[in-house]
Amino acid sequence: MAKAMQAGKDAADLSPKALVQRNNYALYAIYAGDYAAGAQAAGEVLQQDPTYPDALGALAMAQAGQGDLSRAASTYGILQALGVRGASMAAMGLADLAFYQGHQNEGIELLEKSIPADIAAKDQSSAATKSIALGQAHLAKGKKAQALAAADQAVKLSPDPSTAMAAGDLYIEAGETAKAAKLASQLSSRIEPEPQMYGALVEGELALKKNQIKDAIDAFQRAQKISNTWLGHFYLGKAYLQNGSFTEADSEFEACLKRRGEASAVFLDDVPTFRLLPAVYYYLGRAQEGLKSPAAAESYRTFLQMQPQGGGELITDARRRLQTN
């Protein structure tokens, strides 16, 4: 990675190989939370090739990370016109922006149109990724049957460990723990570190669902030892919160915010997941409230400001807590 980043800094070399390296540098900068550097690097690629899909995707992610959602949407609009792949990437990006702002219906409509197009183009990986996002949106609206159908579709479309992990999360939240347990077993039985890590995360979520908090924390910590991930911090925070360990929960959610660049694409695969970030402020507020910190109110306000037209249990609860504290 270090070699790629160093090579990517050589903006004077604009050979095809250097363009790839420069775009990789843009993504590394975004994951590190340096959105300005990511935008600059992606822009340099686009100066050489204005129709470079990956650079447009990176630029849109950097713009979203900087809080300029309007410009990010405009960049996705340019990407949308660049053939089948560009349209597919743009649909995922625009849907993620919609979900980030709590516009669930808008995002669902985008994905429901794009998934069949991906399948027709034999791009099963993109279709699976979108199916996961679709399931998350349905779950946020309380539509468990639709969420489960989306999870089933994702698992059928892609064998990727990250897809299995995300589907497991959907199964657990929708009450299909047996399906999640099967995925966890399949992932944990693999010899590669990545699927083992994802398997441990699903195991932890299953334990947390059963209120077996020690087992959940042990599983999440085991996953973190394999690979220290943003998702690992997030799930640990939720486990500590459920246990009433507010200091530890606060620390984990603060780590999620400090590493917010990784939330741009939690699987580090250039597929945007900004939609996961707003909930961190809600859970941070819960931890701060447990610590009797006045900062809780600001965390709840930030969460609600990020999703002004959003709905669902977290939105309702955040509003209630603001009114009663």
Taking only the tens place, the pLDDT of each residue in 174-214 is: 999 999 999 999 999 999 999 999 999 999 999 999 999 99
- 1-81 and 228-325 agree in CATH topology: yes
The Cα 92–Cα 111 span in angstroms is 7
Pick the CATH number of 1-81 from 1.25.40.10, 1.10.357.10, 2.40.10.10, 3.40.50.10490: 1.25.40.10
Taking only the tens place, the pLDDT of each residue in 125-157 is: 999 999 999 999 999 999 999 999 999 999 999
Residues counted in the chain: 325
For the chain, the structural domain boundaries read 1-81, 228-325
pLDDT for 63 beyond 90: yes
Q: Which of 105, 35, 83 lies closest to 274, judged by CA? A: 35
Judge if pTM exceeds 0.75: yes
For tokens 């960049």, what's the residue? 75
pLDDT for 12 beyond 70: no
Q: What pLDDT is recorded for position 18?
A: 86
Q: What pLDDT is recorded for position 3?
A: 42
Q: Which of 66, 77, 5 lies closest to 41, judged by CA? A: 5
Tell me the average pLDDT of the chain: 94
Q: What pLDDT is recorded for position 15?
A: 78
Pick the CATH number of 228-325 from 1.50.40.10, 2.60.40.10, 3.30.565.10, 1.25.40.10: 1.25.40.10
Q: Which of 117, 113, 153, 114 lies closest to 132, judged by CA? A: 153
Cβ atoms 297, 282 nearer than 8 A: no
Q: Residue 158 is encoded by which pair of tokens?
A: 């892609």
Residue type at 14 in one-letter notation = L
The Cα 308–Cα 275 span in angstroms is 14
Taking only the tens place, the pLDDT of each residue in 272-315 is: 999 999 999 999 999 999 999 999 999 999 999 998 877 788 99
Kindly indicate the confidence band of residue 14, based on its pLDDT and cuts at 50, 70 and 90: low
